[in-house]
Every structure is written in C-alpha cells, then in structure tokens.
Amino acid sequence: MNDAYDGLLDAARAARLNAHAPFSKFQVGAALETADGKVITGCNVENATYGLTVCAERVALLKAISEGQRGFVRIAIVTDTGQPTPPCGACRQLLWEFCGNLEVILGNLQAQTAQHWLKDLFPHPFDANSIGAVEPGAV
C-alpha cells in the first residue's frame, strides 16, 4: 500500500466515528480525493425509515459537489468488517455519474482489504452517455 492510500484510509476511518447508525450499528466512513488533492469525508447517517438513510460515499460526494468540487481521483471506504465492503448500487450509480471510473479503496479498521476500479464494480452503468448526453464524470 502507498502513502496516498494510507492517508485516505485514515481519513475514512476518522469519518466513520461520526456515523449515525443507531439501528444497524454498521458505521461506515468514506474519504473522497479530489483532482486537486483535497480530501472530503463522509459517514453514513441512518434514519428510522431506513429508506432515507444516506451512505457515507454519497455524503462525501454530495458534500464535495456542494463545495464546488468536480474532479475526483479515488475514494476510500472503511467499515468494521473482515471482508471488503464495496459501495451499494445507489452509491455506485452516483459515483459513476459524478466521478467516472475512479479508484475504490476498501478497508477495515486495521488495513486496506481491496482495491478496484469503479468500472469493474459497475460494469454496465446507466448514465448521461446512455441517453446521448455527456461523458461520465463530466457533470
């Protein structure tokens, strides 16, 4: 693992501590690296209806967009599991639309557990290109 991964995973681990997960007790942290090297973090925020719960990846992405960021390099996602926990389908969809084929680093509380490219986790996306608009990540 390299230093860039270590720092991103550390930021995701720290963000995980802010998770609001009173129902599932499944705390997730995410750290999204922008093209200019900034790191924007997010944690999952649960709701009693579950359907309104927002994943850590989407919190980080929407926070970054709200702060004017538009280019992204990689995202680290940390959970307290032994096995890698990849983004859910909704997160994959939004990450693809706003980030394109970014690097996805998965980790637990101790170390990195996996590294993927989003195109491999989401091989047949529906995006603006599907309807003849813009390229993924160009929004």
Tell me whether residue 48 is in a domain. yes
**Beta strand extents in the chain (DSSP E only):** 28-34, 39-43, 72-79, 103-107, 112-117
Question: Which pLDDT score is estimated for 137?
Answer: 60
Please identify every residue annotated as catalytic. Answer: 57
- Specify whether the CB–CB gap between 92 and 122 falls below 8 A: yes
Query: 21: which 2 tokens?
Result: 């997960």
Cα separation, 100 vs 119, whole angstroms: 8
H helix runs in 77-132, sequence order: 89-99, 118-121
Predicted local confidence at residue 133, as pLDDT: 66
Residue 139 lies in a domain: no
Q: What residues does 78 pair with on adjacent strands?
A: 29, 107
- CATH (domain of 8): 3.40.140.10
Q: Mind listing the pLDDT tens digit for each residue in 7-42?
A: 999 999 999 999 999 999 999 999 999 999 999 999
Within a domain: 118: yes
Domain with 33, as residue range(s), is 3-131
> Looking at the domain assignment, is residue 57 inside a domain?
yes
In the structure, what pLDDT confidence band is assigned to residue 1 with cuts at 50, 70 and 90?
Answer: low
Judge whether residue 43 has pLDDT over 90: yes
The tally of domains found in the chain comes to 1
pLDDT tier at 92 (50, 70, 90 boundaries)?
Answer: very high
